Amino acid sequence: MEFIKRRTICWGLCILAFTPFVSAQEEQEDATKFGREAREGTPSLWRDSEKPLDQRERIHHLLSRVTFGVTDATIYEVEQLGVDKWLEQQLEGAADETEALQDRLAKIPSLTMSNQEIVQTYRVPVPPLRRNASPEERKRRAEARAKQEVPKNDLKDTVLLTAVYGKNQLREVVCDFWRNHFNIDVSKGNVKYYATEYERDVIRGEALGTFNAMLNKQARHPAMLVYLDNYISRAAPQKELLEAAQRALFSTRDFGAAMEAVDIAKMKGINENYARELMELHTLGVDNDYTQEDVITVANILTGWTLQQNPKEPIVFQFRKDMHGSEPRMLLNKRVPSIPRNPEMEGQFVLNMLVSHEATSKFLAYKLCRYLVSDDPPEDLVERVAKVYMRKKSDMKEMYKAVLMDEEFYNPKNYQSKFKRPSEFIASALRVTDAEIESTGGVHAALLQMSEPIYQCEDPTGYYDQADAWRDPGVMAPRWSFSLGLGLEQIRGVRIPASYWEGLKQGNPVQWKEMLTNRILPGGCTEKTSEALDAVIAKYARFNPEPEQLGRYIVGILLGSPEFQRQ
Amino acid sequence: MKRRNFLKMSAITSGAVCLNVGGFNAAARAQFGPGDNPTLVVIYLRGGQDQLNTIIPHKDKKYYEIRPSVSIKEENSIALDDQWAFHPALEPLKSWYDKGKVAVVVNSGSPHSTRSHFDAQDFMEYAAPGNRTVRDGWLNRYLAATVPDASKGYGLPELRTLAMQELLPRSLRGRYPVLAVPNNLDGLQEVLDLFDGFYGGDEKKDLAAFLKQSTNVRSGVDADPVMTSGRETIYGLRRLQEVLKGENPEDLNNLAFQEYPAGHFASRMKKLASAIKSGVGLEVAATDIGGWDHHIGLGSVDGALDRMLKFLSEGLSAFMNDLGSHLDRTMVLVCTEFGRVCKENGNAGADHGHGGAMWLLGGKVNGGKIYGKWTGLQDSVLNQKRDLPVTTDFRDIFAEVLQGHMKFEVPDGFFPKYKAKANSLGLFA
Between chains, do A269 and B346 touch, taking CB under 8 Å as contact? yes
- Reported as a pLDDT band with limits 50, 70 and 90, residue A327 is confident
* Dihedral angle over CA of A201, A204, A205, A208, nearest 10: 160
3-class secondary structure, A490: coil
Residues A226, A267: contact at Cβ < 8 Å? no
Residue B285: beta bridge partners?
B41, B162
B296–A475 C-beta distance less than 8 A: no
Confidence band, pLDDT 50/70/90 cuts, at residue A46:
low
Q: What is the pLDDT of residue B220?
A: 35
- The pLDDT > 70 percentage for chain A reads 87
pLDDT digits (tens, 9 = 90+) for A476-521: 888 999 999 999 999 999 999 999 999 888 888 889 999 999 999 9
Q: Decide if pLDDT at B422 tops 80.
A: no
Three-class SS state of B87: coil
Q: What average pLDDT does chain A have?
A: 87
pLDDT tens across A109-160, in order?
A: 999 999 999 999 999 998 876 767 788 988 998 999 999 999 999 999 999 9
Q: For residues B176 and B161, what is the distance between their CA atoms, to the nearest angstrom? A: 9
How high is the pLDDT of residue B251? 56
CB B27 within 8 A of CB B408: yes
| Domains of chain B and any CATH numbers | 3-184+257-405 (3.40.720)
ipTM of predicted assembly, 2 dp: 0.75
Identify each DSSP E strand in A324-383 by its residue range: 329-331, 334-336
CB atoms under 10 Å from CB of A413, counted, come to 16
* A35 CA: distance to closest CA in chain B (Å): 8
Q: Residue A414's closest CA among A17, A10, A58?
A: A58
**What is the residue type of B408?**
F
Q: What is the pLDDT of residue A26?
A: 35
- The minimal CB distance from A42 to the residues B113, B188, B225 is found for B225
pLDDT surpassing 90 at residue B4:
no
Helix (H) or strand (E) holding A148: helix A135-165
pTM of the predicted model over 0.90: no
Interatomic CA distance for residues B221 and A295, integer angstroms: 45
Residue of B nearest to A484 (CA): B191
pLDDT in tens, A437-454: 999 999 999 998 888 999
Give A471's contacts in chain B (Cβ within 8 Å): 225-226, 229
Residue from the list B132, B167, B195 with its beta carbon closest to the beta carbon of A472: B167
Q: What is the pLDDT of residues A235-293, one digit of tens each?
A: 865 566 667 777 777 776 666 777 677 666 665 578 888 999 999 999 999 867 788 88
A413 in contact with B, Cβ within 8 Å: no
Q: Do A40 and B219 touch (CB under 8 A)?
A: yes
pLDDT of residue A397: 97
| Chain B partners within 8 Å of A461 (Cβ) | 118
State the average pLDDT over residues B215-228.
Answer: 54
Are B139 and B284 in contact, with CB atoms under 8 Å apart? yes
pLDDT for A373 beyond 70: yes
pLDDT number for residue A147: 96
Cα–Cα distance measured from residue B225 to residue A420, given in angstroms and rounded to the nearest whole number = 13
Helix, strand, coil content of chain B in percent (nearest 5):
35, 15, 50
Query: Are B294 and B304 contacting, i.e. CB atoms less than 8 angstroms apart?
Result: yes
Residue A1 exposed, middle or buried by CB count within 10 Å (0-12, 13-18, 19+):
exposed
- Give per-residue pLDDT as tens, B60-87: 999 999 999 999 999 999 999 999 999 9
Q: Please state the separation of Cα B118 from the chain's center in Å.
A: 17
Q: Which is it for strands B161-163 and B179-180: parallel, antiparallel or unpaired?
A: parallel
8 A C-beta contact, residue B276 and residue B247: no
| Nearest chain B alpha carbon to A539 | B194
Residue B139 three-state SS: helix
Contact across the interface for A449 and B191, Cβ inside 8 Å: no
- Residues in B touching A562 (Cβ below 8 Å): 198-199, 224, 226-227, 230
One-letter identity of residue A93: G
Cα A89 to chain centroid distance, Å, stands at 21
Which residue, B126, B42, B51, is CA-closest to B352? B51
Chain A interface test: which of B195, B206, B210, B241 (most A C-beta within 10 Å): B195
Q: What is the mean pLDDT of residues B229-233?
A: 83
Collect all residues of chain B within an 8 Å Cβ-Cβ radius of residue A303: none
Identify which of B178, B190, B194 has the shortest CB distance to residue A473: B178
Strands B39-45 and B330-336 come out as: parallel
Alpha-carbon distance B212 to A176, whole Å?
37
Q: What's the pLDDT band for B159 if we cut at 50, 70, 90?
A: confident
Of A280, A469, A535, the CB nearest to B197: A535
Residues 6+ apart with CB under 8 A from A542: none
Tens digit of each residue's pLDDT (9 = 90 or more) over B383-397: 988 999 999 999 999
pLDDT digit string, tens, across residues B263-301: 889 989 999 999 999 888 899 999 999 989 998 878 888
pLDDT at A213 over 80: yes
Interface A-B: count of C-beta contacts within 8 A: 165
B191 and A480 within 8 Å at the Cβ level: the answer is yes
In sequence order, which ranges of B214-303 are alpha helices (DSSP H)?
Answer: 225-247, 264-277
What percent of chain B is modeled with pLDDT above 90? 51
